[in-house]
């Protein structure tokens, strides 16, 4: 009987472990809530979001595509700020975000910039051009659209230096790895170490809209945090950082997928 008891106990343990693994594999988009509130934000907004929330909130910045994959895999996040709507649609399809509460957080635009000692114009073809990776990084997606629309793609495509996110493209330029970079305007304006060579007409790419949305299963306090980040005070701070904002934080209608 003792042997049987041991075998039964062992079997029960294996069943319990298997059950745990099954539920763990099915728990994408869910996370342990015994933690501080956490924001996953597009790298282009990291500095301003950190300034808006102070040190009491955990803020993680990266490419929107990277953050979306992490959320879908069950990473701990309460709010998601994406630089491209495609990642909202991806997460909505997986029931990872509260799609009915999404709002436009801010808007941005593109520039072609160089270092202070860099080329004075774009008459000469740049040696290397830093951009976000067009395969998945929003900055690169918008930049590729602009290059195609302006007729530069065929000449510039072999000279592109793709970065993992918007901050990476800026770093490539600052480190001298590239002569020029296609950046978000907010990453270039007001800097003494950079010069803007060209402001890209927004008509050459899709609207650059940064969306903010709660993650499904967000912790208590997320609603108050969302209200803080979409308040009039927040909009004024965003304006101060070079973003453009809507006059109201009312949820904007979803555009058709493209």
CATH number at residue 49: 3.40.190.10
DSSP of 3-40: HHHHHHHHHHHHHHHHHHHHHHHT-TT----SS--EEE
Residue 224 Cα to chain centre, angstroms: 21
pTM summary value? 0.81
Q: Is residue 55 part of a domain?
A: yes
* Whether residues 178 and 194 fall in one domain: yes
Predicted local confidence at residue 247, as pLDDT: 72
Q: Is residue 2 part of a domain?
A: no
Predicted local confidence at residue 89, as pLDDT: 94
As for how many domains the chain has, the answer is 2
Please give the average pLDDT of every successive group of 10 residues along the chain, which has 258 residues.
41 38 45 75 95 91 95 96 94 95 96 96 94 96 98 96 96 97 96 96 97 96 95 95 77 42
Predicted local confidence at residue 138, as pLDDT: 95
Joined tokens for residue 249: 């934080």
DSSP of 192-217: TTEEEEEEPPGGGS--EEEEEEEBTT
* Whether residues 174 and 119 fall in one domain: yes
Is the Cβ–Cβ distance between 188 and 44 less than 8 Å? Answer: no
* CA–CA gap between residue 113 and residue 196 (Å, rounded): 4
Predicted local confidence at residue 246, as pLDDT: 84
* CA–CA gap between residue 15 and residue 24 (Å, rounded): 14
Range of the domain at 212: 38-107+208-240
* CA–CA gap between residue 163 and residue 132 (Å, rounded): 5
* Whether residues 59 and 125 fall in one domain: no
């Amino acid at each position: 009987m003792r042997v049987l008891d041991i075998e039964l106990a062992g079997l029960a343990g294996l069943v319990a472990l298997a059950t745990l693994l099954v539920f763990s594999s099915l728990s994408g988009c869910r996370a342990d809530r015994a933690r501080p509130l956490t924001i996953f934000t597009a790298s282009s907004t990291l500095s301003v979001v950190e300034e808006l929330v102070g040190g009491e909130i955990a803020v993680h910045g990266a490419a929107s595509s990277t953050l979306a994959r992490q959320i879908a895999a069950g990473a701990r996040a309460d709010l998601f700020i994406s630089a491209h709507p495609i990642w909202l649609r991806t997460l909505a399809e997986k029931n990872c975000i509260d799609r009915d509460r999404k709002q436009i957080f801010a808007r941005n635009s593109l520039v072609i910039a160089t270092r202070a000692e860099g080329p004075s114009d774009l008459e000469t073809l740049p040696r290397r051009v830093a951009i976000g990776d067009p395969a998945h990084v929003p900055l690169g997606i918008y930049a590729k659209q602009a290059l195609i629309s302006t007729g530069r793609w065929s000449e510039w495509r072999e000279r592109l230096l793709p970065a993992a996110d918007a901050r990476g493209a800026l770093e490539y330029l600052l480190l001298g790895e590239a002569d020029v970079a296609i950046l978000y305007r907010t990453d270039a304006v007001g800097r003494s170490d950079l010069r803007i060579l060209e402001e890209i007409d927004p008509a050459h790419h899709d609207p650059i809209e940064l969306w903010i949305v709660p993650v499904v299963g967000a912790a208590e306090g997320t609603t108050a945090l969302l209200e803080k980040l979409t308040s009039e005070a927040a909009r004024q701070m965003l304006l101060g950082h070079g973003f453009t904002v809507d006059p109201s934080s009312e949820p904007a209608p979803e555009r058709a997928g493209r």
